[in-house]
């Protein structure tokens, strides 16, 4: 057996701050935090809806709190940012070919945003 110590490269906690690609990646992944808050709020809202009018009124009062409104706006912004980055990667991950020709990346991204707009409009009209 050898008495040599293996080389262990030092890894700082802030390794990702040194490169713009990794910073962008970490910011993108951090957008999940406000979405977790929104999901928990929505789950409690559904629970209070089942419990009755008093619980529902209490949940509505909680949701009207300015801090909660700001966190929900952050969740919306994070969701839109996450969708934009996902949509922009989609043509590279799954290139679409029609009659042997690759579809332009901008067309794929715009089609995805058009689908989001159409579904949102449908839900707004339905509700």
39-62 pLDDT, tens digit each: 999 999 999 999 999 999 999 999
Give the model's pLDDT for residue 1: 62
Residue 47 lies in a domain: yes
Give the model's pLDDT for residue 59: 95
Residue 9 lies in a domain: no
Q: Which DSSP helix (H) or strand (E) runs through 101?
A: strand 101-102
Residue 118 lies in a domain: no
| Domain region containing 40 | 20-95
Residue 28 lies in a domain: yes
At 106, list the tokens: 């901008």
Residue 71 lies in a domain: yes
d(CA 112, CA 82): 13
d(CA 4, CA 6): 6
Count up the domains in the chain and report the number.
1
Residue 83 lies in a domain: yes
CATH number of the domain that 79 lies in? 1.20.1300.10
Give the model's pLDDT for residue 12: 87
Residue 100 lies in a domain: no
Give the model's pLDDT for residue 75: 92
Give the model's pLDDT for residue 53: 94
Phi first, then psi: what are they for 31, rounded to 5°? -65, -10
Residue 13 lies in a domain: no
- List the chain pLDDT tens, one digit each, 127 residues: 678 888 888 888 888 888 999 999 898 888 888 889 999 999 999 999 999 999 999 999 999 999 999 999 999 999 999 889 989 998 888 888 888 888 889 999 999 999 999 999 999 999 8
Global confidence as pTM: 0.74
d(CA 44, CA 55): 10
Q: How far is C-alpha 87 from the geometric centre of its chain's CA atoms?
A: 12
């Amino acid at each position: 057996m050898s008495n040599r110590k293996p080389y262990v490269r030092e890894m700082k906690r802030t390794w990702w701050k040194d490169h713009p690609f990794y910073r962008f990646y970490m910011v993108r992944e951090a957008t999940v935090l406000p979405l977790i808050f929104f999901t928990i709020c929505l789950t409690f809202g559904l629970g209070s809806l089942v419990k009755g009018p008093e619980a529902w009124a209490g949940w509505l009062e909680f949701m009207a709190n300015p801090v909660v409104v700001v966190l929900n706006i952050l969740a919306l912004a994070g969701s839109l940012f996450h969708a934009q980055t996902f949509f922009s990667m989609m043509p590279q991950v799954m290139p679409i070919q029609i009659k042997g020709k690759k579809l332009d990346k901008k067309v794929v991204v715009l089609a995805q945003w058009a689908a989001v707009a159409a579904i949102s409009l449908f839900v707004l009209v339905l509700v």
